[in-house]
Each structure stands twice: as C-alpha cells, then as structure tokens.
Amino acid sequence: MSRRLFALDHNFPVPILSALSASIPEAELVPIGHIDKRLTDIEDWELLLALHLHPRGWDGLITTDTSLLSLPRELTVIMVCKLTIVAPVAAGHDPLRATGLLLTHLPYICAASRKDVAQVWKLNAKQRPSDDPWELMRSVAERQKREAKDLFQETKDRLDFTTDPLLRARDDPGGGTGD
C-alpha cells in the first residue's frame, strides 16, 4: 500500500500532527496553507478541485467542516474527482477530539480507501454514560454461575483495605505477591 496524501483543513492542531508525523506511516497530512496559501481563501468546491488538479496527486481532504457534505457543488466535485473526504463529525469544534478520532481511524481508512472511487468517511465516537460497576460484577458473577453480592463480599473479605500497597511493597523487596 502506498502512503496516502491528505490535505488538512485549517482547524487541526498542526504542532501536534507535525510532532506525530513519523508515527503515521500510512499517510502524509499537510495543512492546506502549507500546500498553497491561496487555498485558505477559496470556496470548498474550489479547494477540492485545486487538490485534484494539483501536481502532487492529493487523495483528498480531512476536515471538520461537514457542511460541505450537504452542498451539491462540493459533492459533485468529490464524486467527479474521486476524492476521499475524512470528516470527524462527532468532534464538534474541538480540534483535539477531531485529531484523536482521525488518528484512531486513519490506519483503517488508508488501508480501505481507493483512489478510483469517491469516498466520504464520517468518523464518530459516541459518548456514553459510565458503566455501573455492579452491572459489571453481575456479568462476571453470571459467567461464574454465582450471585454478584456473594462474589463481591467474598472478594472484599480477601482484600486488605487498611494497608497502603506501596507501604507493603517497600516491606517486600520482591514487589509483592503478584495477586
């Protein structure tokens, strides 16, 4: 698989992505202002067309501006030019969250996307409420064919909640029992 080449819209933290660039072997991510400063002042459809016609052969654009995914002109350019658009839709206006979503999904996107087909990758990471530890204990107990309260009490009775484990580790040069 050849390394993919993506333009990065202006809302990604360039210092973070630059620092991580050596750890992203599947793609080169270049801020649009580094490609050509004029790209920051044109409409989205023009940006997409300019990337397509650029001599470097851009695969597409990574952006949090998902409004372009609902505009006929932009969608037409994406389809005709067979561009790949990566949009961390669940990030809102949080550049760190968008970067995290991008870095999480980028290896798969680079492996699964194709240069001969237009594609839109909407990245999402749903926020969920916390899990109730009792529900998790019930699940463990159920697998052991036991009652959760009994498993909890038995486990609790075996543990020493009064001695700091770090103090115990200092007294035991071997680093503890490994329980």
pLDDT at 160: 86
Q: Can you give the pLDDT at residue 140? A: 93
* pLDDT score recorded for residue 170: 66
Nearest to 79 by CA among 116, 121, 53: 116
> What pLDDT band is residue 179 in, cutting at 50, 70 and 90?
very low
More confident residue, 147 or 170: 147
Is residue 175's pLDDT more than 80? no
CATH code of residue 110: 3.40.50
| Domain contains 106 | yes
Pair (68, 140) in one structural domain: no
Is 128 inside any structural domain? no
In a domain, 118, yes or no: yes
Please tell me whether residues 65 and 87 are part of one structural domain.
Answer: yes
My answer on whether 138 and 105 are in the same domain is: no
Of 101, 123, 145, the one marking the end of a domain is 123
How far apart are alpha carbons 177 and 92 in whole angstroms?
47
**What's the rounded mean pLDDT across residues 103-126?**
90
Q: Say whether 139 sits in a helix, a strand or coil.
A: helix
Distance (Å, whole) CA 75 – CA 68: 7
Number of domains in the chain: 2
CA distances in angstroms from 165 to 92, 142, 154, 155, 169, listed in the order given: 42, 30, 20, 17, 6
Q: What is the chain's mean pLDDT, rounded?
A: 87
pLDDT band at 154 (very low <50, low <70, confident <90, very high): very high
**Residue that finishes a domain, picked among 100, 123, 146:** 123
**Does 166 or 26 have the greater pLDDT score?**
26
Same domain, yes or no, for 100 and 141?
no
Asked if the model's pLDDT at residue 39 lies above 80, the reply is yes
User: Residue 84's closest CA among 25, 16, 27, 10?
Assistant: 27
CA distances from 33 to 9, 23, 148 (A): 8, 22, 58
Please report whether residue 177 resides in a domain. no
> Residue 130 above 50 pLDDT?
yes
**Residue 134 clears pLDDT 70, i.e. is over it:** yes
> Same domain, yes or no, for 95 and 35?
yes
Highest mean pLDDT among 18-22, 96-100, 144-148: 144-148
Tens digit of pLDDT for each residue in 58-78? 999 999 888 899 999 999 999
Range of the domain at 155: 133-171
Does residue 171 register a pLDDT over 90?
no
